């Protein structure tokens, strides 16, 4: 990654001296996360929170977060400065005021803001001011841009706790900037999930070796306060212990590639569509439980399956509304509603409103190779 020395890049540019930017991004922003397959832009599913964190070069920083349970997507971009919709070159000039930042969308029931901050503080050296190791300049400064008042309180308390811990270890003071989140400008496609695309690419991140204590929340806590990942008993993660047919969710795309057949990989992980009338479950009437072909998550009961004539297995409803997640899909010049597995976020198919009227009117149009019929499961009624 290019970096430069010099005083001008180590001093934050004033708003009136910043580059003017532009009204819209001058480049296309990819729709989906290259590893997780999820949309990288909001609006994110209800109940999700977003965190915006800057800890040096965003290539390595982003990778820290996309494997975590409860994280639905990550993206890299520019935040905390003045120039609207900057380019990478403009940010590198030091004349935008932006920091290279990572956006993390997460489910606070599955992970906590504290857990993200613990990773944040321990993965870099937040005492360095306008640099991070060899990367020198204001764009590499350490910063937290809270998106809620609660995040602001947690960020401030955690920074103070880590500052004390570092001083106790003979290190310097924390220079991490904390400011309410402004706009997050997505970076060029080339930078998104960079270390997935370039596995041996540059990653200059290095922590201090000092563990980050997590102070308890002041207000009534809604999620874990000890920095560890927690799972509630009602979520899909909690069911993992009870259901032996749940498979681990792969953390890297190459794992999915190894585990899945080429056809299933193309549908599940690359949002492909199998040819109509080609799949093994199109005409199946057998009883059982249709699970996610990637992770084993229970998705559809056989008694909600019907013959739609479309050439794809069709269901009137999911076994539980929380088993699947719905996303707007604007590909192929249409607006459709995409259906993904809520547990591993793999693509399953689409849902349309031309299903049987007497049964709710929905048609979950699935790909056979995205499903796995579990005939051993006792006949499962939908709810």
Give the CA dihedral 205, 211, 214, 215, nearest 10 degrees.
Answer: -120
- Residue 294 CB, shortest distance to Zn ion, in Å, is 5
- Residue 293 CB, shortest distance to Zn ion, in Å, is 8
Q: Measured from the CB atom, is 166 or 370 closer to Zn ion?
A: 370
Name residue, tokens 């990654």: 1
Angle at 333 between CA 329 and CA 336, to 5 degrees: 30
Q: What is the DSSP string of 263-322?
A: HHHHHHTT---PPTT-STTSS----SEEEETTT--EEEEGGGEE--SSSS-EESS-SSGG
Axis-axis angle for helices 58-66, 113-123 (nearest 10):
140
Q: Measured from the CB atom, is 10 or 251 closer to Zn ion?
A: 251
Q: Measured from the CB atom, is 305 or 343 closer to Zn ion?
A: 343
Q: Measured from the CB atom, is 256 or 312 closer to Zn ion?
A: 256
Q: Are 318 and 340 in contact (CB under 8 A)?
A: no
Q: Are 213 and 228 in contact (CB under 8 A)?
A: no
User: Any bridge partners for residue 340, and if so which?
Assistant: 325, 347
Sign of the torsion formed by the C-alpha atoms of 13, 19, 25 and 27: negative
Q: Measured from the CB atom, is 132 or 297 closer to Zn ion?
A: 297
Q: Measured from the CB atom, is 212 or 260 closer to Zn ion?
A: 260
Tell me, yes or no, if 203 is annotated catalytic.
no
Give the CA dihedral 190, 191, 194, 198, nearest 10 degrees.
Answer: 40
Catalytic residue among 57, 292, 365, 369: 57
Cα-based distances in Å from 223 to 23, 62, 110, 183, 231: 38, 23, 8, 26, 9
User: Any bridge partners for residue 135, and if so which?
Assistant: 132
- Cα 256 to chain centroid, rounded: 17
Chain contacts with Zn ion (rule: CB under 5 A):
292, 294-295, 297, 341, 343-344, 346
- Residue 278 CB, shortest distance to Zn ion, in Å, is 21
Name residue, tokens 């792969």: 250
Q: Measured from the CB atom, is 115 or 323 closer to Zn ion?
A: 323
- Residue 262 CB, shortest distance to Zn ion, in Å, is 18
Angle at 353 between CA 348 and CA 356, to 5 degrees: 100
Cα-based distances in Å from 100 to 41, 131, 134, 159, 347: 17, 11, 15, 19, 30
Cβ partners under 8 Å of residue 125, min gap 6: 132, 133, 206, 207, 208
- Residue 305 CB, shortest distance to Zn ion, in Å, is 18
- Residue 343 CB, shortest distance to Zn ion, in Å, is 5
- Residue 290 CB, shortest distance to Zn ion, in Å, is 11
Quick check: helix, strand or coil at residue 159? helix
Catalytic residues: 57
């Amino acid at each position: 990654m290019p970096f430069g020395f010099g005083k001008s890049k180590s001093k934050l540019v004033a708003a009136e001296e910043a580059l003017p930017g532009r009204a819209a991004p001058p480049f296309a922003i990819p729709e989906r996360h290259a590893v997780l397959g999820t949309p990288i832009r909001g609006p994110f599913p209800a109940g999700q929170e977003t965190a915006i964190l800057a800890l040096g070069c965003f290539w390595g920083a982003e990778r820290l977060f996309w494997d975590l349970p409860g994280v639905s997507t990550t993206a890299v971009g520019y935040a905390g400065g003045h120039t609207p919709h900057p380019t990478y070159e403009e940010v590198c000039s030091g004349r935008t005021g932006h920091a290279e930042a990572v956006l993390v969308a997460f489910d606070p029931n599955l992970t906590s803001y504290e857990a993200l901050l613990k990773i944040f503080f321990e993965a870099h050296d937040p005492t360095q001011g306008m640099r991070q190791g060899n990367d020198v300049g204001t764009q590499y400064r350490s910063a937290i841009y809270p998106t809620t008042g609660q995040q602001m309180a947690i960020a401030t308390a955690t920074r103070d706790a880590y500052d004390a811990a570092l001083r106790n270890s003979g290190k310097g003071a924390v220079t991490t900037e904390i400011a309410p989140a402004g706009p997050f400008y997505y970076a060029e496609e080339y930078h998104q999930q960079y270390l997935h695309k370039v596995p041996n690419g540059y990653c200059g991140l290095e922590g201090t070796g000092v563990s980050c204590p997590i102070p308890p929340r002041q207000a009534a806590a809604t999620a874990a306060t000890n920095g560890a990942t927690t799972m509630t008993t009602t979520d899909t993660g909690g069911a993992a212990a009870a259901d032996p047919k749940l498979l681990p969710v792969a953390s890297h795309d190459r794992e999915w590639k190894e585990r899945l057949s080429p056809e299933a990989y193309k549908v599940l992980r690359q949002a492909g569509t199998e040819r109509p009338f080609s799949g093994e479950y199109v005409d199946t009437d057998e009883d059982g439980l249709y699970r996610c072909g990637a992770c084993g998550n229970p998705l559809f009961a056989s008694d909600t399956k019907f013959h739609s004539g479309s050439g794809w297995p069709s269901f009137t409803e999911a076994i539980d509304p929380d088993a699947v997640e719905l996303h707007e899909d604007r590909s192929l010049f249409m607006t459709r509603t995409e259906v993904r597995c809520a547990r591993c976020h793999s693509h399953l198919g689409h849902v349309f409103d031309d299903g049987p009227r007497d049964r709710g009117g929905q048609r979950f149009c699935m790909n056979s190779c995205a499903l796995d019929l579990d005939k051993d499961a006792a006949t499962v009624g939908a709810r």
